[in-house]
C-alpha cells in the first residue's frame, strides 16, 4: 500500500484502521537470548492517538494497519466471534531480528496459512467495538454457510424419498 494511501485510510463498513505498537521483550532461554513479541497500545480511533503514536513515528515500533473484512470470509468471522475468546491476528515478517506487520485479519484460516510459512502470527482479543462492527458487517451481507453435497446422487435415496 502506498504511503499516501496509508495516511488517508479511513474507517468504513469494510475497513477499520488499527494503530498499535509492536513491543519486544528480551528473554533468556538457556544460553540463548531471544525476543518475545507482543501487541501493545491499541488505538481504534484517530482522536485517541497520543503523541507516541504520531504518524511520523510509524515504522519505529508503531504501526497502522487496516483490518479489512471480505464477504468470502464471513463463515470464518462467525466462527471467531462465536468462540469463547475471539481474536485478531497480526501477521508479521521478520527482518533483521525486527518484526514488521504484513496483515491484520479476523479469519483464523488466513492466519493459519501464514503460520506454515516464515511468518510470526501474534494475536489479541478483539476489542468490543470491532466485534460490534463485524456483527454489523455480517448483518448487512448475511451469513455464509457451507453446504456439503450428498454423495451418490439418486442411487441412495433417503427414507422420505418414497422408496
pLDDT in tens, 84-142: 999 999 999 988 878 899 999 999 999 999 987 789 999 999 999 999 999 999 999 88
Tell me what pLDDT residue 88 has. Answer: 97
pLDDT at 155 over 80: no
| Torsion angles phi and psi, residue 115, rounded to 5 | -65, -25
Tell me what pLDDT residue 58 has. Answer: 53
Residue 62 in contact with residue 19, Cβ under 8 Å?
A: yes
pLDDT at 148 over 60: no
Tell me what pLDDT residue 6 has. Answer: 46
Give residue-wise pLDDT tens across range 67-98.
999 999 999 999 999 999 999 999 999 888 78
Q: Which of 27-31, 79-83, 146-150 has the lowest mean pLDDT?
A: 146-150
| Grid cell in block for residue 138 | 455480517
Tell me what pLDDT residue 117 has. Answer: 77
Tell me what pLDDT residue 29 has. Answer: 82
Tell me what pLDDT residue 61 has. Answer: 80
Please state whether the predicted TM-score (pTM) of the whole model is above 0.85.
no
Tell me what pLDDT residue 126 has. Answer: 95
Across all residues in the chain, what is the average pLDDT?
Answer: 81
| Grid cell in block for residue 3 | 504511503
The packing angle between helices 74-82 and 128-141, to 10°, is 140
Amino acid at each position: 500500500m502506498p504511503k499516501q494511501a496509508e495516511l488517508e485510510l479511513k474507517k468504513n463498513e469494510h475497513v477499520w484502521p488499527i494503530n498499535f505498537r509492536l513491543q519486544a521483550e528480551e528473554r533468556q532461554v538457556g544460553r540463548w537470548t531471544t525476543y518475545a513479541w507482543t501487541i501493545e497500545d491499541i488505538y481504534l480511533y484517530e482522536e485517541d492517538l497520543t503523541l507516541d503514536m504520531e504518524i511520523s513515528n510509524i515504522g519505529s515500533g508503531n504501526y497502522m494497519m487496516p483490518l479489512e473484512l471480505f464477504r468470502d470470509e464471513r463463515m470464518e468471522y462467525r466462527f471467531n466471534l462465536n468462540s469463547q475468546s475471539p481474536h485478531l491476528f497480526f501477521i508479521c515478517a521478520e527482518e533483521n531480528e525486527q518484526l514488521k506487520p504484513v496483515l491484520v485479519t479476523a479469519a483464523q484460516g488466513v492466519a493459519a496459512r501464514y503460520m506454515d510459512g516464515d511468518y510470526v502470527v501474534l494475536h489479541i482479543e478483539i476489542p468490543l467495538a470491532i466485534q460490534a462492527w463485524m456483527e454489523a458487517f455480517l448483518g448487512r451481507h448475511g451469513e455464509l454457510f457451507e453446504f456439503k453435497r450428498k454423495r451418490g446422487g439418486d442411487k441412495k435415496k433417503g427414507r422420505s424419498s418414497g422408496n
